[in-house]
Amino acid sequence: MIQNKARKVKRLFNWPCLSRYCNVPGVNLPTTRHITSIVKDPALSRGLAFALRAYGYDVASFRSWKHAGESVGGAICVILDGSLPECEREACLATLPVKTPVLFLAEDETFSNERPSIQILHKPLTGTDIVSALMRLGKNP
């Protein structure tokens, strides 16, 4: 039963007729919903991926910035873990375009927010926290 509903939803988003609305002025349909997650903890990474996939996002999870590489280029958002070494966090932020939204998952530390597109979330968090932060980032480009 659930699989049939999932197939129907999948067919809905694969309709070719929806593509004609992508270039209409005033209609902003994202062409990609790819998010790159760079999180050191595998359990947190799986939880984030599960929650975001439930909302229709495509998630690529990595444990370090070095492994993420080119996956970050096409992402609409990057989720960056605060438990990563500071040199990795700085390297990630230095190579990302300024307009790319970043969700920073902080534990207890403070983080200097020099970029306008950074949203700081404090752990522990839920799936709805992540999705609502993505919505806020989408409304404030």
| pLDDT tens-place string over residues 51-86 | 888 888 888 898 888 888 777 777 888 888 888 888
Q: What is the pLDDT of residue 141?
A: 45
Q: What is the pLDDT of residue 29?
A: 43
- Identity at 43, one-letter amino acid code: A
Residue boundaries of the structural domains of the chain: 31-139
Flag residues of the chain having pLDDT under 70: 1-32, 109-113, 115, 139-141
Q: What is the pLDDT of residue 113?
A: 63
Q: State how far the Cα of 55 lies from the Cα of 40, in Å rounded to an integer.
A: 23
User: Is 89 within 8 Å of 78 (Cβ atoms)?
Assistant: no
pTM: 0.69
Q: State how far the Cα of 12 lies from the Cα of 124, in Å rounded to an integer.
A: 34
**Top-level class of domain 31-139:** alpha beta
Alpha carbon distances (Å) from 127 to 84, 106, 108: 21, 15, 20
